[in-house]
């Protein structure tokens, strides 16, 4: 991984009225990290992500991307949500090219990127289909292709595979790893699934119960492709499980 700090979070605090949700969080994300963020249910993982994207104004502290305060109008940040976020009135190829169109990427470059990522996620022959004609797995592939096609400085993923069955989830996790290795994009991946975090992340950040702060960050050096039945995988999964416990 790079030694360059991509995202620097300094004393991030978020309150809703008198309710303290994020409590003085400070950490760095290095350029090219695939950082999985886990924590107790309801600890504020999505609030944390929404603070990064400026959906929520933070109460105090700062978030820097490449040394600049986060500004989604100026910086290239992509976001993949849980569930389907495709636009039903656009075809697959139009959905994949949507972010590029918004950013006014020249038509030739846009076409090239759409072709490239349709091919990578295996949707080239479905390019003229509409979302209602696709399975849940294919819909998430469209969202993944759309996000990576913009070649974002930072990709945020909020439990994107939470509603899929195990077999589909593993297929899409492998696809994400392949894309991440190919593009070197910095990814923050929120999940409640500990096995998923150990399978995907080169680092795993564990959050505390509310009011939320960073408990610890673990380097995950398990070789890829990862075997969920391997003793070292099970050991790390159990270690993360113990760290998440708040009772």
Q: Which domain holds residue 193?
A: 1-74+153-160+181-247
In a domain, 166, yes or no: no
Q: Where residue 1 falls among pLDDT bands split at 50, 70, 90?
A: low
Average pLDDT over residues 148-155: 92
Average pLDDT over the chain, rounded to an integer: 91
How many whole angstroms separate alpha carbon 114 and alpha carbon 83?
A: 22
Containing H/E element for 58?
A: none
Radius of gyration, CA atoms only, the chain: 18
Q: How big is the CA angle at 47 (ends 75 and 240), to the nearest 5 degrees?
A: 105
pLDDT given at position 11: 96
Cβ atoms within 10 A of the Cβ of 210, count? 18
- C-alpha 37/C-alpha 34 separation (Å) is 10
DSSP 43: S
45 lies in some domain = yes
Tally: H helices and E strands in the chain? 8, 10
* Residue 38 maps to a domain: yes
> What's the predicted TM-score (pTM) here?
0.92
Q: CA dist 21 to 7, 64, 123, 141, 237, Å?
A: 21, 20, 40, 32, 26
pLDDT band at residue 32, thresholds of 50, 70 and 90? Answer: very high
- Residue 106: count other Cβ atoms within 10 Å of its Cβ: 9
The reply to whether 120 falls in a domain is yes
Assess if residue 44 is contained within a domain.
yes
Is the model more confident about 239 or about 136? 239
Residues 96 and 113 in one domain: yes
Residue 242's pLDDT band, with cuts at 50, 70 and 90, is: very high
- Report d(CA 21, CA 58) in Å as an integer: 11
Judge if 9 and 53 occupy the same domain: yes
Task: Write the CATH number for 34.
Answer: 3.40.50.300
The pLDDT of residue 247 is above 70: no
| Residue 176 counted as domain residue | no
Q: Interhelix angle for 166-183 vs 107-120, to 10°?
A: 130
Both 21 and 55 in one domain: the answer is yes
Number of domains in the chain: 2
Strands (E), 39-173: 60-65, 68-69, 77-80, 154-158
High-pLDDT (> 70) share of the chain, %: 98
pLDDT tens digits for 168-204?
888 889 989 999 999 999 999 999 999 999 999 999 9
Cα distances (Å, whole numbers) of residue 225 to 35, 144, 181, 198, 228: 17, 20, 12, 12, 10
pLDDT digits (tens, 9 = 90+) for 44-99: 888 888 888 777 889 999 999 999 998 877 889 998 888 788 999 999 999 999 99
Q: How does pLDDT run across 197-224, given as a tens digit for each residue?
A: 999 999 999 999 889 999 999 999 999 9
């Amino acid at each position: 991984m790079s030694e360059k700090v991509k995202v620097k979070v300094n004393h991030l605090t978020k309150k809703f009225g008198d309710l303290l949700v994020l409590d003085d969080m400070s950490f760095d994300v290095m350029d090219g990290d695939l950082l999985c963020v886990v924590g107790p249910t309801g600890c504020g993982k999505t609030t944390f992500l929404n603070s990064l994207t400026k959906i929520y104004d933070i109460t105090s502290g700062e978030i820097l991307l490449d040394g600049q305060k986060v500004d989604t109008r100026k910086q290239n940040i992509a976001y993949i949500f849980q569930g389907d976020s495709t636009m039903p009135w656009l075809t697959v190829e139009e959905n994949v090219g949507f972010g590029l169109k918004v950013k006014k990427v020249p038509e030739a470059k846009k076409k090239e990127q759409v072709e490239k990522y349709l091919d990578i996620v295996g949707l080239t022959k479905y390019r003229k289909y509409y979302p209602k004609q696709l399975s849940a797995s294919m819909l998430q592939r469209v969202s993944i292709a759309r996000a990576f096609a913009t070649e974002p400085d930072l990709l945020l993923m909020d439990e994107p595979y939470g509603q899929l069955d195990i077999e589909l989830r593993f297929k899409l996790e492998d696809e994400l790893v392949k894309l991440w290795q190919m593009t070197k994009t910095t990814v923050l991946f929120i999940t409640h699934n500990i096995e998923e975090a150990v399978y995907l992340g080169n680092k795993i950040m564990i959050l505390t119960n509310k009011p939320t702060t960073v408990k610890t960050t673990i380097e995950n050096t398990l070789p890829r492709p990862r075997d969920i039945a391997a003793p070292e995988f099970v050991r790390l999964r159990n270690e993360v499980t113990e760290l998440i416990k708040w009772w």
